[in-house]
A and B are shown apart, each in its own frame.
Chain A
Amino acid sequence: MYAIVIGCGRAGAEIASRMCELGHSVVVIDRDRAAFHRLSDTFSGTTIVGHAIDEDCLISAGIERADAVIATTYGDNSNLIAVQLARKRFNVERAIARVKDSVRASTFANLGFETIPSTTIVGDAFEQALAWEPHQPNGPAENGS
């Protein structure tokens, strides 16, 4: 598989490195060259300095033949524009955006775009870890609430 990872923060670097370990071809784009230091030693793909929604940059990254675009920049909006471009302009089969804002994530999911709602996922993980029962207002264990 040929994948473009946009944004080389912690999440982007992790995904890019994991995909390389699985044997996929990966190009990582970030506007800051220094971000690429986050990539692990197992990363065997290429890096491009550029902006998430710059079409020239996406074309030079090979978006026209990409199987997947993974948008993980810090900006929800940049990620959402990048996946829309990938789907509508370049007909990329899979385009997934990391979206921190839960409302934005579900809204764009309803519009047919793949989103990873990171805040919701973290919230769910905490809830699961704590494994609290729903609060019983008349329960015996609560004091002064």
Chain B
Amino acid sequence: MFVIIAGGGKVGSQLARDLMAERHEVVVMESNPHKARALQDEIGDAVVPHDASEGRWLIDAGIGRAELLIAVTGDDEDNIVICQLGEALSEGRARTITRINNPKNSDTFRTLGIEAIVNATDLVMTMIERDVSVAPVVHLMRLRSAGLELVEMTVAEGSAADGSTPQDLRLPEQGGRISVILRNGEAVLPSPTTRLQAGDSIVLVAQTEFEEALGRKFAAPTIV
């Protein structure tokens, strides 16, 4: 897979290393020249030392043939616009993923119809609460190589999940486990009898082959 990562900070560079180790083709875009050079020393030509929201550089980096665009700069507005620009410039072919740094922005972006969002702050908080000592992204990649995906889904009104508990939905038997529910900006750790409601964001660990079937219980899934 050809992946463009916007932002070569801690998250972006670790993602790049992991994806390259799995033999994916990766380009990292980083506008800070010092950070870009340091990353170039490590991973070479795969670094484009420019701002990913600058259209011509995103085109130069190969957005036209990218399958995945991950925006992980430290700035929420930049991340959102990079995703929107990437979607438009790739004519909808590139899937886009971003994160929100400031939880205060999450409602704002949802009203813009941008759902492909993992609230990194919430996720990190949850990981800490659950005593997971690894950074979340590193963790995600390990999951992926084990045939698991971490996905975020929103419970749609009237879906099978709306008003049901994980037990009702027989999730574990069907290859899925809810790790956290994000409700009204708060992270809730679910028990088998926690009732889901429309509007909840569910972070779910799913076996890759069951992901699609699980998605039908909630709504269109967004891969983290």
Contact = CB atoms under 8 A, between A and B. Distances in A.
Interface of A: 53-55, 75-78, 80-81, 84-85, 88-89, 101-104, 107-108, 110-111
Interface of B is mostly: helix
Contacts of A81: 77, 80-81, 108, 112
Interface residues of B, number: 22
Interface stretch (B35-43, B54-62, B143-151, B201-209): B54-62
B112 A104 contact: no
A76 B88 contact: no
Across chains A and B, which 4 residue pairs bring their CB atoms closest together, nearest first?
A: A103-B55, A77-B81, A77-B77, A89-B111
B53 interface: yes
Interface of B: 53-56, 58-59, 75, 77-78, 80-81, 84-85, 88-89, 104-105, 107-108, 111-113
The SS class assigned to the A binding surface is: helix
B112 A88 contact: yes
26 contacts: A53-B77, A53-B105, A55-B108, A76-B53, A77-B53, A77-B75, A77-B77, A80-B77, A80-B81, A81-B77, A81-B81, A84-B112, A85-B111, A88-B111, A88-B113, A101-B54, A101-B55, A101-B56, A103-B56, A103-B58, A104-B54, A107-B85, A107-B89, A110-B88, A111-B84, A111-B88
Contacts of A111: 84, 88
B105 to A, nearest CB: 7
Contacts of A102: 55
Nearest to B105: A53
Nearest to B54: A101
A89 B112 CA distance: 7
B116 to A, nearest CB: 15
A78 B76 CA distance: 9
Nearest to B75: A77
B111 A76 contact: no
